[in-house]
A and B are shown apart, each in its own frame.
Chain A
């Protein structure tokens, strides 16, 4: 999601811990709220920062497509399979399945919740470099060993994918062919030993190199995070959002056990 060299906005300049707090706060509020109007308001709130960030159109189209498909899938599947209360069939299929109005409504509410949470999470990864995210997580208590593993995974994942593609090509040029699931399983089985062999060799080299550079979990980060006045203000606003959602839930506007009112 991160784009190198993108114009930096006020959102980009926020402390990465604040960005994480934003994502967590929206998720918490989303879980507490249950009424469509409130969830739609929450979703609208999470969409507003995107206007500031203005992602490239191509990236936006891809995001909308993925989010739209996920939301539509949820509405349709709940339409078919919702059994949380009475069902009013809108459409009956010859195979015995039916689409119920309550299911569609429930799916729509769930989609609003999902979209709000996804929008907040995507915003964080769009305006926060992976290194900043990891720094934020370690400063919030993520063990250094785990953080190092995550960095290595991020660092080597693209190379490993490329390596897998090269192995598949080598197979094809040596006559491995065939389509369909069985052929795919066979190709995967053929790809596994060389890929694992390469990974094992690289892991050994990386471990030796890390030893040679004195790796230790008791390390001092080169950068220290400090909250600015703006960061504190945003944190206060996020706390207010969570409190308001909590109050709404206590006031009877949370997700009701019996379905949508």
Chain B
């Protein structure tokens, strides 16, 4: 029996004008790994939600066509019943870990199924073993890396005995080794006879492991998918001859005394330079940005940012812009236009938001609430709020995370424009090799001080 059969599937969210899925036909066999690729909002997640019954049972809307997973229609079967057969791993691993320790979280689904404690214990042991998490079983879940959290979420659905596994952009926040570990785990599950469907913006090593790669575009499936071409080189290079904006001299820093995350780092960043900061999870990329934004005092060495020695956020206001991974954390105003004007107004600078709104491609949303925008648009708006202040230094924490290629290229194009026009120095952390190759004048690769690799 073919585990997953989809015929002429269509779906529209209750509040949407256009359908998210149109005429989808798909079959997935046991022991097959299918990858769905496409830009944000193209319908990948909607298809996965249709396969595990969240559409239409939890999200409402109108579904047409037929979906059959292991002999049941997930849209019209109790979700608890569906979840015995279909396991879903969502994009944000942290939001789907409910318990305090690793083994408790794996047991969570089994407890819901009412399994006897001995049966649950056996399933937990097996799932942890298969995903290489046994040594971490008593660890608090928040101490795991992103890759480990993602594998933990997978172990949780595996322990429930699901033979169909759905993963929604599981590697968007993972570094290279985390992605590799995840794809290895998926290949093992495929070999064990599971049907696996993965949606992704980019596949990297997964392309070689997937049995089929299907492209999604505007809610429709294409039988084959060509890889996205890497973006062309955007920067001319050869910069770095201006005044220094950042001077780090033998700087160490971290969160626990005696356990530095960064050690003995020296670095000079000059006006107009765009620097990519790479390295595995835990190597100190975000810590470096925190040091430069004045959020974390160095434990040793000298830090000068935009002429300010021993920087603090209040002293760097208007001189340094920090783009956080989650744009929602820095949207402070009621409307899109007010969001751009917010910073200049605080600093008493005159500012007309209209030209910047046009550059950001958000002019039509001028009076809309920032929270009504899509993720990519919110990211652009958050960046716009920083560009409006004309900072000397822009710090971007994983600006490509969770965005499709088109969106992050557009975002970094804006940053590059600012660097060229105003001499703003830029440091951006990323796991995307293509982003570094296209935009960075220089690359800094950090390694873990303890020499380990979290994934």
Q: Who on chain A is nearest to B91 by CB?
A: A205
Chain A residues contacting B110 (CB-CB under 8 Å) are 222
| Per-residue interface assignment for chain B, residues 33 to 54, with 1 indicating a CB less than 8 Å from any chain A CB and 0 otherwise | 0000000000000000000101
Q: How many residues of B contact A (CB 8 A)?
A: 67
Per a CB cutoff under 8 Å, which of B92, B160, B316, B322 touches A213? B160
B100 near A208 (CB under 8 angstroms)? no
CB distance from B7 to the nearest CB of A (A): 23
**Interface presence of B16 (CB below 8 A):** no
- Flag whether B13 is at the interface (Cβ < 8 A): no
Q: Which chain B residues in 272-310 approach chain A with CB under 8 Å? A: 293, 295
Q: Return the contact of A167 from the options B330, B342, B389 (Cβ within 8 A).
A: B330
The answer to whether B332 touches A194, judged by C-beta atoms less than 8 angstroms apart, is yes
Which residues does chain B contribute within 8 Å of A190, judged by CB atoms?
Answer: 332
By the criterion CB–CB under 8 Å, are B117 and A198 in contact? no
Chain A hits for B113, CB < 8 A: 214
Flag whether A216 is at the interface (Cβ < 8 A). Answer: yes
Q: Is the CB of A214 within 8 A of B322?
A: no
Query: Cβ of B371 < 8 Å from any Cβ of A?
Result: yes
Q: How far is the CA of A4 from the CA of B285 in the complex (A)?
A: 27
Assembled-state Cα–Cα distance A158/B308 (Å): 31
Q: How far is the CA of A182 from the CA of B443 in the complex (A)?
A: 44
Interface bits B64-94 vs A (CB < 8 Å: 1, else 0) = 0000000000000001100110011010101
Contacts of A198-226 to chain B: CB distance below 8 A:
198, 201-202, 205-216, 218-224
Q: A131–B96 contact, CB under 8 A?
A: no
In the complex, A98 has a CB within 8 A of chain B: no
Whether the Cβ atoms of B100 and A155 lie closer than 8 Å is yes
Q: Which among A8-16, A71-79, A170-178 touches the partner chain? A: A170-178
Asked if residues A151 and B329 are in contact (CB atoms below 8 Å), the reply is no
CA A166 to CA B111, docked complex, whole Å: 36
Q: A173-B321, A211-B54 are in contact. Are A206 and B95 (CB under 8 A)?
A: yes
Q: Is the CB of B121 within 8 A of A194?
A: no
For A135, the closest partner residue in chain B by CB is B104
Nearest residue (CB) in A for B111 is A219
Cα distance A166–B290 in the bound complex, in angstroms: 10
| A49-83 interface with B by 8 A CB criterion | none
Q: Judge if B198 is at the interface, Cβ distance under 8 Å.
A: no
A180 at the interface (CB under 8 A from B): no
Contact B99 A214 (CB under 8 A): no
Is B423 located at the chain interface by the 8 A CB criterion? no
Interface: A169 (CB within 8 A): yes
Question: Is B346 a contact of A174 with CB atoms below 8 Å?
Answer: yes
How many A residues touch B, CB cutoff 8 Å? Answer: 49
Given known A-B contacts A198-B329, A220-B116, A158 and B88 have beta carbons under 8 A apart? no
Instruction: Tell me, yes or no, whether A154 is within 8 Å of chain B by CB.
Output: yes
Chain A residues, CB < 8 A from B104: 131, 222
Q: Tell whether A220 pairs with B111 under 8 Å between CB atoms, given A194-B329, A209-B95.
A: yes
The answer on a CB contact under 8 Å between A219 and B389 is: no
Q: Does B124 contact A (CB under 8 A)?
A: yes
| B1 proximal to A (CB < 8 A) | no
- A interface footprint on B122-162 (CB within 8 Å = 1, 0 otherwise): 00100000000000000111100000000001001100100
CB-CB under 8 A from B316, the residues of chain A are: 173
Flag if B346 contacts A176 (CB, 8 Å): yes
Q: Confirm or deny: A257 has a beta carbon within 8 angstroms of a beta carbon on chain B.
A: no
Residues 104-123 of chain B, each 1 if its beta carbon lies under 8 Å from chain A, else 0: 10011111111111001100
Cβ A175 vs Cβ B121 within 8 A: no
CA distance A163 to B326 in the complex (A): 10
User: Chain A nearest CB: distance from B135 CB in Å?
Assistant: 14
A155–B97 touching, CB < 8 Å: yes
Q: Is the CB of B317 within 8 A of A175?
A: yes
Q: How far is the CA of A201 from the CA of B114 in the complex (A)?
A: 29
Please state if B83 and A212 are interface contacts (CB–CB under 8 Å): yes
Distance A25 CA – B83 CA, assembled complex (angstroms): 43
User: Is B347 located at the chain interface by the 8 A CB criterion?
Assistant: yes
Q: Which residue of A lies closest to B348 (CB)?
A: A175
- Classify the secondary structure of A's interface with B: helix
User: A166-B324, A170-B322 are known contacts. Are A205 and B332 too (CB-CB below 8 A)?
Assistant: no
Convert A127-170 into 0s and 1s, putting 1 for each residue whose CB lies closer than 8 angstroms to a CB of B.
Answer: 00111000000000000000010011011001100010011011
Chain B residues whose C-beta falls within 8 Å of the C-beta of A163 in the assembled complex: 326, 329
Bound-complex Cα distance A159 to B140 (A)? 13
Interface pair B331/A197, CB less than 8 Å apart = yes
Task: Check if A212 sits within 8 Å of B332, measured CB to CB.
Answer: no
Q: Is the CB of B317 within 8 A of A172?
A: yes
Distance between Cα atoms of A4 and B101 in the complex (Å):
11
Contact between chains at B92 and A205 (CB < 8 Å):
yes
Residues of chain B within 8 A of A175, CB atoms compared:
317-318, 343, 346-347, 389
**Chain B residues with CB below 8 A from A197, complex form:** 328, 331, 371
In whole angstroms, what is the CA distance A218 to B100 when docked?
20
**B424 CB to closest chain A CB, in angstroms?**
14
When C-beta atoms are compared, the residue in chain B nearest to A201 turns out to be B328
Q: A173-B320, A212-B83, A213-B83 are in contact. Are A151 and B99 (CB under 8 A)?
A: yes
User: Scoring B residues 231 to 247 as 1 if CB is less than 8 Å from chain A, else 0, what string do you get?
Assistant: 00000000000000000
A214 CA to B85 CA, complexed, in Å? 11
Interface string of A214-251 (1 = CB under 8 A from B): 11101111111000000000000000000000000000
CB distance A222 to B332 under 8 Å?
Answer: no
Contacts A166-B329, A175-B389, A194-B330 given; indicate if A205 touches B99 (C-beta within 8 A): no
- Would B342 and A155 count as touching, CB distance under 8 A? no
Whether B329 and A167, one on each chain, are in contact in the complex, defined by CB atoms closer than 8 angstroms, is yes
On chain A, the residues within 8 Å of B206 by CB distance are none
Query: Is B314's CB within 8 Å of the partner chain A?
Result: yes
Q: Check A213 against B95 for contact (C-beta < 8 Å).
A: no
Given contacts A175-B347, A212-B88, A170 and B117 within 8 Å (CB-CB): no
10 contacts between A and B (CB under 8 A): A155-B97, A155-B99, A167-B330, A170-B324, A173-B293, A176-B346, A201-B328, A210-B98, A211-B58, A222-B117
Q: Please give the residue numbers on chain B whose beta carbons come within 8 Å of chain A beta carbons, in ascending order.
A: 52, 54, 58, 79-80, 83-84, 87-88, 90, 92, 94-101, 104, 107-117, 120-121, 124, 139-142, 153, 156-157, 160, 293, 295, 313-314, 316-318, 320-322, 324, 326, 328-332, 342-343, 346-347, 371, 385-386, 389
A151-B99, A210-B98 given; name 19 further pairs at CB < 8 Å: A129-B101, A151-B100, A166-B329, A169-B295, A170-B322, A171-B332, A176-B317, A194-B328, A202-B92, A205-B90, A208-B90, A209-B153, A212-B90, A213-B112, A213-B160, A214-B80, A214-B113, A219-B111, A221-B117
